[in-house]
């Protein structure tokens, strides 16, 4: 990547002792990656179940509100866990992230996915009582679910690609 105004900050972080420790420790780095994958599996896995319901691809006899009330808190825990461990992994390799197109695509997709969830919660979900038990949900709900599905797939794909770049 070309030198930008943020390059010195990434380089400063790369040169700190904590960054070196995370990056070079034979136990902690793989352990943090394992925890990150667990956060992915929990958070994104549960989000996929919610997206599938919004798209009408399963659990159509289960009210949307019942499914969201049960799964959403655990999805939030998983995504939070994923973000915390991701931040630790970033601290370990900031210059690798800075130089990686995969990292930037992943981050943009993640923020769009989180924004999509926020907008869904604030604009579409409040009207759930009108469409809670329908097998085919309103177009806006299906669009939110489809967008979420695509965006989280991009996050996972480019996150995995980052590991090999």
| Residue range 87-127, pLDDT digits in tens | 999 999 999 999 999 999 999 999 999 999 999 999 999 99
pLDDT at 3 over 80: no
Asked if residue 16 lies in contact with residue 104, where contact means CB atoms within 8 angstroms, the answer is: no
145: Cβ contacts below 8 Å, ≥ 6 apart: 50, 51, 52, 53, 54, 55, 137
Portion of the chain with pLDDT greater than 90, in percent: 95
Give me the chain's average pLDDT, please.
95
Does the structure show a pLDDT above 70 at 32? yes
pLDDT band at 128 (very low <50, low <70, confident <90, very high): very high
How large is the average pLDDT for residues 27-43?
95
How far CA 84 is from CA of 10, 75, 144, in Å, comes to 18, 14, 25
- pLDDT category at 81 given cuts 50, 70, 90 is very high
Q: Is the pLDDT of residue 1 over 80?
A: no
Q: What is the pLDDT of residue 16?
A: 98
Average pLDDT over residues 3-32: 94
Tokens representing 126 are 């409040």
Burial class (CB in 10 A: 0-12, 13-18, 19+), 28: middle
Strand, helix or coil at 6? coil
């Amino acid at each position: 990547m070309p030198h930008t105004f943020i390059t010195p900050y990434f380089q400063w972080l790369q040169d700190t002792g904590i960054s070196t420790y995370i990056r070079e420790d034979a136990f902690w780095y793989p352990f943090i990656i394992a925890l990150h994958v667990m956060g992915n599996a929990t958070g994104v896995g549960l989000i996929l179940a919610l997206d599938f319901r919004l798209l009408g691809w399963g659990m159509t006899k289960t009210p949307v509100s019942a499914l969201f009330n049960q799964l959403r808190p655990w999805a939030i825990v998983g995504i939070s866990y994923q973000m915390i461990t991701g931040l630790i992994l970033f601290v370990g390799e900031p210059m690798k992230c800075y130089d990686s197109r995969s990292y930037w695509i992943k981050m943009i997709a993640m923020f769009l996915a989180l924004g999509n969830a926020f907008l869904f919660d604030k604009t579409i979900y409040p009207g759930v009582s009108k469409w809670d038990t329908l097998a085919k949900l309103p177009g806006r709900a299906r669009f939110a679910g489809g967008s979420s599905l695509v965006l989280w797939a991009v996050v996972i794909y480019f996150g995995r690609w980052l590991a090999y770049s």
